[in-house]
Structure 1
């Protein structure tokens, strides 16, 4: 099958959607499909791209650029696309245009939503109704149960499947590192407001005050809030207890997870939580917010713990520091049991969605 992945954001811009689209298209190509990416993000292209990339749009700043309908249709025709996989966050002009054109260009189309719409449902519902999105001949999906519920609400009850992100669990499971010193709590995120690094930092401060010298923390990631976070740590006098690394390559993150004891995911509007899944695959127990996408692969009391507030997060982690045996039991389970969101399962789920999209196009032709 010739599959076009349409996404406003793509490499060399770094982010969760960009890497997932690259990995999905690459895995599908390895499985025998012909895949390519259509994006509005400018280059440069890598010297050895895993899949071909078509970059569209007028000159501008950033990935969001005007793309004419006929230009996108031309690319689909020239590359003989047999299926189109559209990747949407919220503001995704190219992706929304591709979904809207599904009935015109006749290519079976799956629309995957990668973000949580809970806080923007009124806006998304207004846009969807104005465009008639619920009537488009596309198969709607989202990356988690929580994300799908909000999309379904915005589309006035239109069916929305779950098509999760994928991971190679074995790539994250490293031999355990001998522990030296107090337990280490780790978190990996972009340092932006919606990921909630400052509330996490304040929670860590509370843990340090309650358990002086008994816990250390490492926060990985870059973003506009990083200087403010560094200032907060200095003002609290906790530079020895809380470390900010900035962005790290994957192999360094793997090494850090192998040496840690607990992973914390503080965002309550986390659509999926790929970093938390990577930590789970590395064998770490995970503490995350209830109602986020992380709940699709963290069962409370089995793979980790789900909490309803920052205060509950602090009390849960505090209790775990006092119960190292419980922490070790969950870590042992996570090292022994492979999570269900591996690439074989995700590729099969994508095939199911493409088949559903093809049936919608067949029904359109027969109508």
Structure 2
């Protein structure tokens, strides 16, 4: 099948949507499909990218570019798209247009929502009603149960399936590194406000003040908040036990997880939590916010712990640092039990969504 993945954001820009679209398209190509990526993100990929990329649009800001309907239709027609998979966050003009146009022209279309709409439901509901999105002949999906609930609300009850992100669990399960010194707490995220790195950092400061030398912490990731976070760490002094690494390649993150004892995901509006899933696959117990997408693969008290507030997060982490036996027990479980979000499951779920989208079209034709 010729699948056109339409996404406003894509490589070389780095982010969760960009990497998931690349990985999904790559897995589909390995399974015998012919995926392409259509994006408004400018730039180029060095070497010979395995998945063809068509970059569209004119003037714009960042990865967002103005694209006329007729130009987008022409691209989908020239690429002989047999299915369109539109990847939407909230503000995703290219993906929204692709979903509207492809569905109207009889192309089986799936819309995957990759973000949490809870805080913007009134805006998204207004936009969806203005566009008549709930009546489009497309199949709606979101990356987690929590994310799907908000999309369903914004679309006035339209059915929304769960089409999760994928992972190769075996790639993250490496032999545990020898432990030397106090336990290590890890978190990996983009250093932006919605990921909440600063509340996490100040929670770690509070833990350190209450229990100096009891743990070490490593925060991985880059983003606009990183300079401010580094200033906070510098002000706290060299004995805080907290290190900010900036961005790291995947193999370095795997090595870090292999030597860590606990993973913390502080965002309460986390639509999925791929970094937390990678840590879970590496065997780490995970502490995350309840009501986030992490709850789809972390069962409270089994794979980790789900907390309802920053205060509860601090108290939970404090209790776990005092209970190394409990941490080790959950780590043994996580290393032995593989989460059911590996790529075979995701590819099967995607195929089911494409089939459902095809059934919505009475007479499928290409754009």
TM bucket normalised to smaller? over 0.9
Deviation at 1:210, TM superposition (A): 1.7
* Alignment of 1:82 onto 2:87: no
Give yes or no for the alignment of 1:249 onto 2:244.
Answer: no
Q: What secondary structure is seen at the aligned counterpart in 2 of 1:269?
A: coil
Q: How does 1:278-297 map to 2 (within 5 A)?
A: 278-297=278-297
Kept in 1: contact 2:106–2:364 (CA 8 A): no
Secondary structure at 2:330 match in 1: helix
Secondary structure, counterpart of 1:361 in structure 2:
coil
Does 1:264 find its partner at 2:267? no
Offset from partner CA, 1:124-148 (integer Å, 9 cap, x none): 0000000000000000000000000
The aligned counterpart of 1:131 is 131
Q: For 1:85-100, what aligned pairs fall within 5 Å after superposition?
A: 85-100=85-100
Cα deviation, residue 235, structure 1 = 1.5
CA distance in 1 between partners of 2:51 and 2:231 (Å): 42
What corresponds to 1:19 in structure 2? 19
Deviations 1:274-326 (A, max 9, x none): 00000000000000000000000000000000000001001111111111100
Question: Larger relative contact order (C-alpha < 8 A, sep ≥ 6)?
Answer: 2
| Runs of 4+ residues deviating >3 angstroms | none
1:63-118 CA-to-partner distances (Å, cap 9, x unmatched) read 10011111111111111111110000000010010111133322100000000000
1:141 aligns with 2:136: no
Partner of 2:199: 199
Alignment partner, residue 159 of structure 2: 159
Aligned mates of 1:141, 1:363 — CA distance in 2: 22
Distance 1:48 1:281 in 2: 30
2-side partners of 1:156 and 1:261: how far apart? 43
The offset of 1:253, in angstroms, is 0.4
Query: Which position in structure 1 is the counterpart of 2:175?
Result: 175
* TM-aligned CA deviation for residue 160 of structure 1: 0.3
Cα 1:363–1:217, aligned 2, differ >3 Å: closer, same or farther? same
Shift of 1:50: 2.0
Does the alignment pair 1:362 with 2:362? Answer: yes
In structure 2, C-alpha distance between the alignment counterparts of 1:45 and 1:3, rounded to whole Å: 20
**Once the two structures are superposed, what CA deviation does each residue of 1:328-361 show, in whole Å capped at 9, x if it has no partner?**
0000000011000000000000000000000001
Equivalent in the alignment of 1:326:
326
Could you tell me whether the CA contact under 8 Å between 2:205 and 2:240 is conserved in 1?
no
Distance 1:249 1:285 in 2: 22
RMSD across aligned C-alpha pairs, in angstroms?
1.2
User: Which residue number in structure 1 is paired with residue 4 of structure 2?
Assistant: 4
Partner of 1:217: helix, strand, or coil?
Answer: strand
Could you list the per-position Cα deviations for residues 48-69 of structure 1 after superposition, in whole angstroms to 9, with x for gaps in the alignment? 2120000000144411001111
1:101 partner SS: helix
C-alpha distance in structure 2 between counterparts of 1:227 and 1:239, whole Å:
19
- TM-score, reference length from structure 1: 0.98
Contact 1:137/1:364 (<8 A) preserved: no
Secondary structure (helix, strand or coil) at the match of 2:335 reads helix
- Indicate the larger mover: 101-110 or 86-95: 101-110
CA contact (8 A) 1:4 1:38 kept: yes
The aligned counterpart of 2:211 is: 211
Deviations 1:154-197 (A, max 9, x none): 00000000000000000001101110000000000011100000
Aligned to 2:190: 190
Q: 1:16-35, CA deviations, whole angstroms, 9 ceiling, x for partnerless residues?
A: 00000000000000000000
Distance 1:363 1:287, change over 3 A: farther
5+ long unaligned stretches in structure 1: none
